[in-house]
Amino acid sequence: MSEIVKFLATVLYYVEKKNFPLAVAFKRAYLYNKPRKIDSNLLYDYSKRLILSYYALPQGKRSFKVRYWLENKENIEIKFPNWMEEKLSTLLDINALKGKLKERCVWARINLLKTDIDKIYRELEGKNIEFESDKDFYYMIKIKKSSVRLSSLSIVKDCKLIIHDKGSSLVVEALKPEIGEKVVDLSSAPGIKASLYMMLTENRAEIFLADVDFKRLLKEYSLLKRCGVDLSKIHIIYQDSTKNSVIRSDKILLDAPCSSSGMINNDPSILLKLWDNEKIERFAKLQKSLLSESLKITANKLVYAVCSLFPEEGEKVIEDYYEIAEKPFSNYQSGYSLFKVGEKSNRTFPHTDSTEGFFISTLNLTKL
């Protein structure tokens, strides 16, 4: 018991004081305080559930909080910050959402620029990894059970299989990728969506990747290279996209910086950064600025997306563009019905789609 307490207290320290994502906090704790003879999958599950219950824990030292959680883990509730509980309760089935957060759902994408579907299926079956192919996208699979860390697999290290949430792939699919077109991505790092776009166009599209962080752009370029993307088709733009330099393109992707509240199923450490709604308001202001600037580009279509559960970052950002907004997918649920533009957008959720929580809407710029 003392080893588990020490381990979980270390995870909590990295999340609480260092602001590390859960995966990074877990990796650090596992490196320095690995308990003996305890399955790593169980440890990760404990770590995730501990962070999900953070706002239900009593005050005190981390070791005290951990002991309290271990003694009451079957009965202790998942809790969001009070303001978040109140807001989400008016928008969705919050109990269903919390129930789903206890589960671990991992999506992965077969990178057809470097391999084929049958090879990946055989590799996973050989490792006794249980998975199922996705009904919507032939290149997506859901990992149901694995006794090994996916990141340790050679096919993952070689970018033949890419850990990629299905909700994120929907953002790219909303653009309806076509061979020969030009696309500008105004907040592109880390590059997972760009690599999918190039895969879907068989490396025969041209993409302009902009980001405000130069180091992230360098990492993005490296990732695209490892993914087998034709780098002659890639143009890197180091810019603050609220002061955009791109003049024209066929299509625009604005997957805007956001609260990342839609990612709490995979990274509950985000909850510790959402103690009030001030962060949401700051992001909403930035998103509106980015969208206004992006509409100065001569293009046919713009896809606006955020990985957020909050309407301030979704419906409220595009409500002024209701007349040109279009719902990207007919087979996915609409946005929040409290907002008129909700009918012209899509939302995904952990408890309904087993994905991260995304808001997606298309703006038909030919109607401007």
Widest Cα–Cα separation across the chain: 64
Task: Spell out the alpha helix ranges (H) of the chain.
Answer: 2-16, 22-33, 40-52, 62-72, 82-89, 94-101, 117-126, 154-157, 166-173, 192-200, 214-226, 278-294, 315-318, 350-353
What letters, b where the CB count within 10 A reaches 16 and e where it falls short, cover 264-300? bbbbbbbbeebeebebbeebbebbbebbebbbebebe
Cis peptide before 21 (omega within 30 of 0): no
Give CA–CA dist 353/342, Å, rounded: 18
- Residues 6+ positions from 104 with CB-CB distance below 8 Å: 44, 45, 48
Q: Coil, strand or helix: which one is 109?
A: strand
Write out the two tokens for 113: 């620029």
90: Cβ contacts below 8 Å, ≥ 6 apart: 338
Distances (CA, A) of 50 to 146, 170, 176, 354: 22, 30, 40, 21
**Beta strands 301-306 and 251-255: pairing type?**
parallel
| pLDDT tens-place values along the chain, 368 residues long | 689 999 999 999 999 999 999 999 999 999 888 888 888 888 999 999 999 999 999 999 999 999 999 999 999 999 999 999 999 999 999 999 999 998 888 999 999 999 999 999 999 999 999 999 999 999 999 999 998 889 889 999 999 999 999 999 999 999 999 999 999 999 999 999 999 999 999 999 999 999 999 999 999 999 999 999 999 999 999 999 999 999 999 999 999 999 999 999 999 999 999 988 999 999 999 999 999 999 999 999 999 999 999 999 999 999 999 999 999 999 999 999 999 999 999 999 999 999 999 999 999 999 98
Q: Which residue has the tokens 């109990």?
A: 95
Q: What's the rounded Cα separation, in Å, for the pair 124 and 153?
A: 9
Q: Is 232 exposed, middle or buried (0-12, 13-18, 19+ CB in 10 A)?
A: exposed
What pTM was estimated for this model as a whole?
Answer: 0.95
- Both structure tokens of 4: 């588990």
pLDDT at residue number 60: 95
Show me where the domains of the chain are located. Answer: 2-79, 106-164, 167-367
Q: Looking at residue 1, what is its pLDDT?
A: 64
pLDDT of residue 229: 98
Q: What are phi and psi of 300, to 5 degrees?
A: -95, -30
263 exposed, middle or buried (CB, 10 Å; 0-12, 13-18, 19+)?
Answer: buried
Name the CATH topology of 167-367: Rossmann fold (3.40.50)
Residue 174 tokens read as 């909303």
- CATH number of the domain at 106-164, please? 3.30.70.1170
What's residue 110's pLDDT?
A: 98
Q: Which of 332, 323, 317, 326 is nearest to 344 (CA)?
A: 326
**Cβ-based neighbour number of residue 67 at 10 Å:** 18
For residue 104, the model assigns a pLDDT of: 83
Q: What is residue 37's predicted lDDT score, i.e. its pLDDT?
A: 80
C-alpha dihedral (171, 304, 105, 226), degrees to nearest 10 = 50
Quick one: which of 227, 230, 188, 175 has its CA closest to 206? 230
| DSSP-derived pairing of the beta strands 325-326 and 301-306 | unpaired
307 near 356, Cβ under 8 Å? Answer: yes
| pLDDT for the residue 34 | 82
